[in-house]
Structure 1
Amino acid sequence: MLVLVLAACAPTRRETLRIVFSPAPGIDSATAIAAYGGVIAELEEKLGVDVEMQTTTEYAAVVEALANGTADMARLGGMPYIQAHEQIGVEPLVREINPEGIAECHGIIIGRPGIWDEPFTFNQLKGKTMAFPDIGSTSGYLSNVVNMKENGIELDDLAEYGFLGSHPAVLEAVVAGSVDAGGTNDWRTNLAVSQGAGVPGEDFVILATTPPIPMNCWGVRADMDSRLKERVRNALLSLSDEAFAGCDQVKGFVPGADSDYDYVRVLMEEGLVE
């Protein structure tokens, strides 16, 4: 989770933009911060401020910071963005571009090869074991659970299901045969495959795919000064490819809008998420 905090400072000192985020499970803080080194450097140059990055594991603290005015911007997935928008009026500035060069992804259900009839039907999930990244994952959990519900399968129809903490962990569990199926998304699976995590068709198969889901947004408080919003938006949109050289999950930004997340709202309604 990324948060951009504009700290008050003396007129003779440069302002400081403090970015706080939650690294993916298994990634230590130093490694995660280093991945955004190029982004930090270019933002400092474009905005004329110092940029500091810190890590946190508490999403609630991020929302609280936005609500009490000590934070100005947050990196938010689909579900958290909508919740923050409804609670405190957060507005999206930009949407992330993933390593495949697009600002959207698809939820997918993957499975161990050799145990599914062709063509696949959702009814085959009954009595199977299944893993998800996290209950707060829009693409890994929510989209796939709604896809299952729309095709007549409830979580209670599974023999067992659980949460493994990350998308790569879901792929690893399916490849290892620890579970029969897993909910994840396409670009994270493709990234893991490119890093040697498994061979499609041999180590796992894709059973089902959802409609497109918007990538994470970087959103700001509604009461942020409009000129500052535009400065930050323009700086993010104009970052060079080199700024993302050390980051394997984000490769740029496109302009963001609240309507980008209308499909996620539908998913939340169908999945009964408040």
Structure 2
Amino acid sequence: MKKSLLYVLTFILLFIAGCSSSGTAGQDSITIAWLPNESGTDLTDTRDEIGRMIEEKTGAEVTHQTTTDYIVAIEAIANGNADMAYLGAQGYIEAKNKNDQVLPLVVPSGESGTLDDAIYYSWLAVEIENADEYKNGDEFAIDNIQGKRFSFVSNSSTSGFRVPSTGIVDYFSEQPGFEDVTADDLLEGGDNHFFSDVLYGGSHQGSAVNLLSGNVDVAAFCDTCVNNYVELIEGEENRPGAIYKVREDAAEPFNTVTGKEFILISVTPVLNAPFVINGDNINEEMQAELLEVMTSDEVANNEKIFVPEDSDFSGLFSKTADERLVDVEDAWFNPIRELSN
């Protein structure tokens, strides 16, 4: 009887010890996958700060999975190798198509602190010396991009492929001789193709460098992914005709093109990118804790995550007014989903 009682007490103590070493929601660890755009060393401190705040709230140890390919991050969250990920809207949709338990958690808001203005911008840019080639009178136009060397980010990128390719197709399908053009026609370049050559930067930063290093004539990339490397020197931010210059102290990969200038010829608003979770890995209690910490004032006011305008820190989001992370439902992404239909 004494031995049986001892075994029972030992089991109970081991059970309690096991529970005490787990997160408050019963999960020991959380792996966060990051797209190539957010995997650089310039954002290490921001990634670590997000991880630290999650650890403090949940008790689970956070590991960051940086990547050099969109597909790696998308597959990681879809197949459960990652528990959480920061993806573009298109990447989220692709991951959810693979696994319906991939769920949106939060997105960064706009200046209002709500979803009403939760947008960023997809750019088509050219080198400053070639700007006049892409004008129709005094206005910028995309008519002359056909036949040029073009850089996308990845065909899984929202603002680096899905949105610009849709815009190009919508515009040219109304022009004589291009009525049947599709997004698939833009994937590769060469003779009898829409573009003479097509490159993929692998990240928004890489696509911009493709342009500034002279490898292509036109490039698609977004504002938020290059803000840490460039500065507006003329025109209105996020408007055709705006001229940007690479900072002299820009980190990799822009350190090879410092001082280079480019001009925007087309600008399209895009729905902000979500943090998503794998519902097969993250139970409902942990989901609630993650939502609570990510939408907290502590995160919104953390200057390593939401960086003030006058700061030299390279962070993930900018703080100009009431920006914060806000919860979001799947249906909010339907406008991006419909671009594929």
Q: TM-score, normalised by structure 2?
A: 0.64
Which residue of the partner structure matches residue 195 of structure 2? 158
Structure 1 residue matching 2:198: 3-state secondary structure: strand
* 261 and 188 in structure 1: CA distance in 2 versus 1, 3 angstrom threshold: same
Which residue of the partner structure matches residue 108 of structure 1? 123
Give me the whole-angstrom Cα distance separating, in 1, the residues matched to 2:270 and 2:229.
Answer: 20
> Do the aligned partners of 1:77 and 1:138 also contact (CA within 8 Å) in 2?
yes
Counterparts of 1:142-153 in structure 2, within 5 Å, are: 142-152=162-172
* 109 and 188 in structure 1: CA distance in 2 versus 1, 3 angstrom threshold: same
Give me the whole-angstrom Cα distance separating, in 1, the residues matched to 2:258 and 2:48.
Answer: 32
Structure 2 residue matching 1:11: 3-state secondary structure: helix
Q: Which amino acid aligns with 1:214?
A: N
Which residue of the partner structure matches residue 248 of structure 1? 315
Give the number of the structure whose alpha-carbon radius of gyration is greater.
2
* 85 and 61 in structure 1: CA distance in 2 versus 1, 3 angstrom threshold: closer
Deviations 1:71-94 (A, max 9, x none): 543333212211232332222111
Which residue of the partner structure matches residue 88 of structure 1? 99
Counterparts of 1:45-64 in structure 2, within 5 Å, are: 45-55=56-66, 58-59=72-73, 60-64=75-79
Counterparts of 1:1-274 in structure 2, within 5 Å, are: 10-15=18-23, 16-22=28-34, 24=36, 33-55=44-66, 58-59=72-73, 60-65=75-80, 72-89=83-100, 90-96=102-108, 103-113=118-128, 114=130, 115-118=133-136, 119-152=139-172, 154=181, 155=186, 156-194=193-231, 196=247, 203-221=261-279, 224-238=282-296, 239=299, 240-242=301-303, 244=305, 248-250=315-317, 252-269=324-341
Q: Superposition RMSD on alpha carbons, in Å?
A: 3.4
More displaced stretch, 117-126 vs 243-252? 243-252
Identity %: 20
> Do the aligned partners of 1:130 and 1:162 also contact (CA within 8 Å) in 2?
yes
How far residue 264 of structure 1 moved from its aligned partner, in angstroms, is 0.9
Give me the whole-angstrom Cα distance separating, in 2, the residues matched to 1:228 and 1:25.
Answer: 27
Q: Which amino acid aligns with 1:181?
A: V
How far residue 121 of structure 1 moved from its aligned partner, in angstroms, is 2.8
Q: TM-score, normalised by structure 1?
A: 0.77
* 49 and 18 in structure 1: CA distance in 2 versus 1, 3 angstrom threshold: closer
> Do the aligned partners of 1:79 and 1:268 also contact (CA within 8 Å) in 2?
no
More displaced stretch, 239-248 vs 122-131? 239-248
* 193 and 237 in structure 1: CA distance in 2 versus 1, 3 angstrom threshold: same
Structure 1 residue runs without a partner (length 5+): 1-8, 270-274
How far residue 117 of structure 1 moved from its aligned partner, in angstroms, is 2.7
Structure 1 residue matching 2:124: 3-state secondary structure: strand
Structure 2 residue runs without a partner (length 5+): 1-16, 174-180, 187-192, 232-245, 248-253, 308-312, 319-323
Give me the whole-angstrom Cα distance separating, in 1, the residues matched to 2:110 and 2:95.
Answer: 23
